Amino acid sequence: MRIVGSLVQAYQICPRQAWLMSRQICPDEDNVYLQLGRLIGAQSFGRERKEVRLEHLCIDLVRRGGRDFVIGEVKKSSRAREAARMQLAFYLYELREMGMEAEGELLFPEERRRERVVLDESLARQVEELKARILALIAQDQAPLPEKIRFCGKCAYAEFCWA
Residue 143 C-beta: closest distance to ligand SF4, Å: 9
Asked if 152 interacts with ligand SF4 (CB under 6 A), we say yes
Amino acid letter for position 101: E
For residues 22 and 123, what is the distance between their CA atoms, to the nearest angstrom?
24
If one asks whether residue 4 binds ligand SF4 (CB under 6 A), the answer comes out as: no
136's CB contacts (< 8 A; 6+ apart) are none
The smaller minimum CB distance to ligand SF4, of residues 90 and 157, is found at 157
- What mask, x for binding ligand SF4 by CB under 6 A, covers residues 11 to 50? ---x-xx---------------------------------
Helices 5-13, 15-22: axis angle to 10 degrees equals: 150
Interaction residues for ligand SF4, span 120-149 (CB under 6 A): 146-147, 149
Q: Which residues bind ligand SF4 (CB under 6 A)?
A: 14, 16-17, 146-147, 149, 151-152, 155, 157-158, 161
